[in-house]
Structure 1
Amino acid sequence: MKKSLLMCLFLMATLLNAQVNAYRFSQSNGIYTEITAGNIIAKPTANSSTGSLDSNVYHITLPYDFYFNGEPYRSLYISTNGFVTFGDTAPSTTSTSPISSRTSYKGAISAWGGDLNTVFNISGTTGNISWETVGVYPNREVVIQWKDFRPAYSVSETNVYVFSFQIKLKETSNVISIVYKNGGYLMGTEPILGSRQIGLRGSNNLDYHNKIGSNIKESVSWSPEKSNITSPFYTISNTTSGMPTNGLTYKWSPPSCIAPTDLSISNITINSAEISWKVPAINPLNGYEYYYSTDNRAPTSSTIPLGTSLTKSAFLEKLNSATQYYIWVRSSSGISDKSVWSSLGTFTTLCGEKTNMYENFDGYSTGSGVPLCWDRISGIGSQKISATSPASGTRNMYQSASASQNPTIVVLPIFSNINAGTHWLRFKAKVSSGMGTLEVGYVTNIGDPNTFVNLSTVNIENRSYSDPDAEYIVTVPKTVPGNARLAIKNTADSKSYYWDDVYWEQASSCFIPTKVKLSKVTSYGADISWAALGSVPANGYEYYYSTKRTTPVSSTIPSGNSFSKSVTLGNLSSATTYYVWIRSHCKENELSSWSPAFAFTTNCESSSILSSTEAKICPGSQATLSAIANSDTIIKWYDSQIGGQLLGTGSTFVTPSITNTTTYYAEAAAEKFISVGPLSVMAQGGRITTQSSSIPWAVYFTVLSQTKFSSVDIFPISSGEAGGIKIFKGTSVSEKPLAEVLFTTNVGGGTTAQTINLNIELPPGNYTIYPKLPSSGLKRNASGAVYPYTSKVANITGNGFDPTYFMSFYNWKFDGGCASKRQAITATVDCPSSDITKKEVINLYPNPFVNVINITDISKVKSIIINDASGKQVKVINSPSAVLNLEELNSGMYLVVLELNDKTTQTVKIIKK
């Protein structure tokens, strides 16, 4: 199945006919003229339920077209709940919120929107709903009246308050009026209170012009904004009336210039489109003005339109391909008489053929999909735009499929020059593990995966975009069909493939060098080599190196040049990290881009082991080994040539008891620590507070070159409390830490330092140190921090709370020294066949033996005691024979004590194979 994102037409049908906002409002104190001989629509028959005109809707036909919100209407619905609506859809009989209602009627006028009813024969008063037409053409007026209605639904016949109100609709001018008649108590004096919706609503509840405020009787407040539908309160009592006064009149006059509606779009191309709209009931004198933008922010009244039209359509041209546009139109009857802008929706121009392209996916949301004008041929495997560790920006492409799944093929945009033989596809890629492959090819049918043809299998070994070899180039030959589209397909091997920063660009004959590597390094120099397509350029290669990882630009003066694919760098500093870049110099003014940065570190300048002494011992003994180096170095002893455990320091090393020949390794180390950050809380200064155990905060740091993070100082509040320190790769503390060091505080008071030894080897990269705080906390600085705190091996870059704080860890120490290559020194286990503590008169043979050993002069032996190498007794033999079967003993060395008949003893050391 193909899911195409080629947006030939994407039209949002959100037509915001926001016209009642533009009605002009006025308020006055006039005369309430009651209908006495009009058309009675309904009379009550009781004082409860529907008999009191509760929750009823009536339909009437108007004698003329009344224009509301720019549309003509010949009928309307009247609700007993104090409002009328326009359009074919009637309001619910129980609707009490006509302005905020989501019912799809075309408009509403609410005089007293709420749950209402009238009275039947209370103190001689009976209410009704009626209407009549007054005046003559063309100035007639329809009057709709709610007579003697309660302000809120009630069935009480002992506490009764009534008032009247009218909605008036003026012919020709289409002015709307609401007029109130003051009321009074028919029975009782108990207070009555509530809230009501008063005002206009358009075709939806986003278009309204209603009364806001907290009280009906307060100074009037009307809002044309689409942000606040409220229901003001009224309060009625025997002494104070919160109801409208007699003759209070609210009037709304429609705008003289009404905005057009109902957008339609046709003839969309890569750079043009035609738009049209429905003209309003009153044609504007100067036609229409339109405005379009790639930004969805609406124009204001002062925005200069981009075009005008005297008809109901306009032709938009010189648009950008594959671009989404937003459109607004307004009516114009003069410089100062214009309608509001009407948002007519949005559309996207067609995708055009491209001659070049760059895509880093940052403009798109994460999830299954591809960029605009790209396509994908969906398989069972996964494909999505991902935010996981992109090469640049915030997004990259992800593909993965198991061996049983068909991979999803990502199809690139249409390139008009796909078979010109002049362009290549350049991109960065990485794989989750091991070595993986991406197939770069083309398809001739974006609906058929079987049309995929592989042009190049890209072998990917790097797991990071920062790897110098993370960029790949595929040259596209002239043999590719003209209707083909480039495509990338992942291998179905369950690995995760990511790629980013994709270029379709002019192929260069001046190739960027790749696979930069270190051939040899010394304390003061290094041999660097690289690979590049083709032969050595006419002007060779240029190289640039620095101790800073700041990528050179095209105008950067190179450090030197080479006419081979290698160079020897000299006069370097020892134990220093360098970065090197290479570029091709093909012609006088033709240079390739610089290769990605390649980093290396020179050897440290340290004396070697000058001499050493090995040792030969018997099994189960300790050996004393020795080594000599310069006096300004420390000799360190390890159990491995590389890495391993530090066993001891000093010119001599005494091994544990060993039974087999063992090799140890000594190095001459020039100890040197580099301190980073404030030495103490007091040295940092500023406001000093306690970082409590309930609120730990991470501290971020960057390691610039391979080093050992040796220690930090803390300033505990109390002694004897448990704490800990975790080191994480990156800035997340939710993953498994690289290391965790636990400690118990041994000082208190917050002014005495306690050093926490970490001794963690760290390669270059970004890290986080995170505390497990003691229960009483640690001292910190709550002001005055200025990040970064720098050194040549590591920088403290910030914390997760506040950039003015310095959090709890002080006097960071990193190993800035270096060491010689480790030298092997061996303790050899080699002993004579018998080792006798006294003059030997009785022999044991063979020695070493397998299972059976023979004893000479057995007649002299009373008993035999066999001990292991530690002296523990393992066997006693009374009245032994000349042949001993010791099959049950494990391999190793034993001491055989012979108790002789003359009450003397003789000890013989034997070895069982």
Structure 2
Amino acid sequence: MRNFTFLQREFSNTTVKSLFWLTWLLLFGILPAKAQVATNYGFSQLSGTFTPITGGILLGTETTDDQRFLDPAVPAGGTVTTGVGLPIGFDFTFNGQVYNRVAVNANGWISFGNSSLTPAVNNASTSAYTPLASTTATTPTHLRNRISALGADLQAQSGASLRIETIGDAPNRVCVIQWLNYRRYLQTDHNLNFQIRLNETTNIVDIVYGTMTFNSTSNTAHVGLGGSLATDFNNRQTTTNWNSTSAGTTNTASCTFVTPGATPPVSGTTFRWALQSCLSVSSLTASNITPNSATVTWSLSTSNPSNDYQWELRTSGQPGSGATGLVNSGTVSNTTTTANLSGLAPQTEHQFYIRSNCGSEFSSWASLVFTTACAPFVPPTLETFTGTFPPICWSRAQNGTPATGPQGGTVFNWVTRDWRNTANTSNGISAVFNIFSTNRQGWLITPTYNLSSGGFSVFYDVAVTDYFNANPIETDGGNMAIDDEVYFLMSVDDGVTWTTLEIFNQANTPPTAGTTKTYDISTVNSGTVKFAFFATSGPANVVNADYDFFVDNFSVASCLPPTSLITSSLTNSSVNLNWTASVSNPADGYQWEVRTSGAAGSGTTGLVQSGSVGVGITTVAITGLTPSTAYQYYVRSVCSATDNSVWIQGPNFTTLCDLVTEFSQNFDTTTAGTGILPPCWSRSGSSTVANVIGSAAAPFSAPNRLQMSAVFNSTVAYVLMPPVSNLQAETHRLRFKAFATTTGRNIDLGYFTDESDLNTFVLLESIPVPGTTQAIAEELFAFPAGIPTGVSRLVF
């Protein structure tokens, strides 16, 4: 073996400037329609010449970074957001307002203002690097109107300049705002040159690009127009080619600049926005949203189109792009303000587009996004809480009581975490509520279920542990605190009224190891049934009471699945699958599947073996598997010929590797990454650094090497080599190249008598490793001897 690297410590440090994350969750609802700049301006792309300006007002210096320029008397700029503004030189009409001032942001964009206002300009933005998505309000609101040529985290560099100049003669003057030789913050090999040009009389907006040199780091920029609200935008997007952009569909849409990967605009490329004579409708809204229908209304176009309105309903694709993603389309008269949409798919985002037909021309498309409601779930169903949380059609609330039901709120305390704070359990991820302090509460609410046929049960796994560990609760003898409660409730009228099915409290605390709760609701035959968990920490603050309440595997069914799926007796070609019998005592036993891919019951692709066992049998022996291969397995109960439970997934397993008589590994064909090792290699110990990394250099073979890191005795890394059949023969040697980043280090060679127990490591030899650079790595040898029968893997 060669190319082994032992690293004593490795540190990395990344500087991130002004990074913000904002996450929205939309279970169902509508996004407001685009407003005026979205519908009143048409986009076109022209070819021409980039002609730099050299006069006017020079703004900032070669060290400019994040400045705003709001006052001709302060050309150096600053951090304030409001001021008297820079003169345009003429009246410029944009988005229905007349402006004579602008504010310039060094990050590639401007906003409009007027000298008659105080302040004249307001260049505020939620983030200066994403100006078209800003939700920061201005007063008056039209001071938010803006143009972004390259809205990103920009910075000047040597030879850079930013200036504003009005050129030409009335009535055809042009106000030019120009960035020359700018770059992305702290990046090299960038040369970004562009202008925003405001044209007198025509009120046309041009963005003109000069030489645009990208580097190998992927960045994005906002390009386009923004109105007085964040929902009013007319922008461009591309990930590959600035010479062939498309209309953005969200205010976060952007253009990627990276090479290779994204073609820069040809010098002289002009993005033009001009007012249209044929205008679209406005004020689109969606109402009466059900799982299968919605009503869209709008205000008539002020152009009074001579013909009609054309509309499209889509789940993907741009309007007019063809059949892919098209749900429906049609025309309505020029006096109609409503479209009734039916036959829609539940819980699906739809885009509604409409434009005016003025006879000789069309307006741009106005659009609205809405999501249809969830259809009632029909059992059997199972929610494992893996993936998006809350899951689709589930919801959370903060306020309310079991008497009133959930009452909304802004703080949602139900989250997800490993079941019982223990990774790699058969339960995987679960919903959890941390109970501590006083009056901390929250709701976790299921979708609506259609139980009109009756005969169902509901079940879920529940457990309580100490906060963020798998131990019992530290206080009150391992029980919940005196006034802490978690309610499990049911509503048969879609959440209007609620009935308590069980209360968990100090006298009824779920076990630390977890248990499965089952409720017979066979007499319930409503088509609008919901369930909910309501947790509260109560008004009393019990000292040190801080623990986690877990819920997992929530299911509504008439035939309940088995539980506690595990594997045993794993070899290179076989495994035993085991589970605990279903409480339904299924009359026809169980069905099982072993797969390499695909969901249970999804067909032959990825299916390795399948079968069934009779009533009362809870194990099956699987043979004929492929060595060193990852598998998933699933089991379900079969209560009758027409009634099965949901499929339950057991823990994934990987068959053992075949024993070999010798092996060689240079790590070069293994993808480098945290935790990644070649097939049949594995790691153990407390250190997280034992993996393949890149950057191998002579005398190692490029591109990869193995890295291990240990810090004294506090974090220890072990790497287990592939199993061999002849360790006891003492006929082979171990050869490898290695170096350390610190002098005086050794690498220990040995074996485990029990690979699941780090305390069983037996040292064979402690081998000195040279340091401190890989250039002086040496080829080292070892001759393992005295290894007992039954051991097949050497360990570093």
Q: TM-score, normalised by structure 2?
A: 0.46
- Which has the higher relative contact order, 1 or 2, with Cα contacts under 8 A spaced 6 or more apart? 2
Greater strand proportion: 1
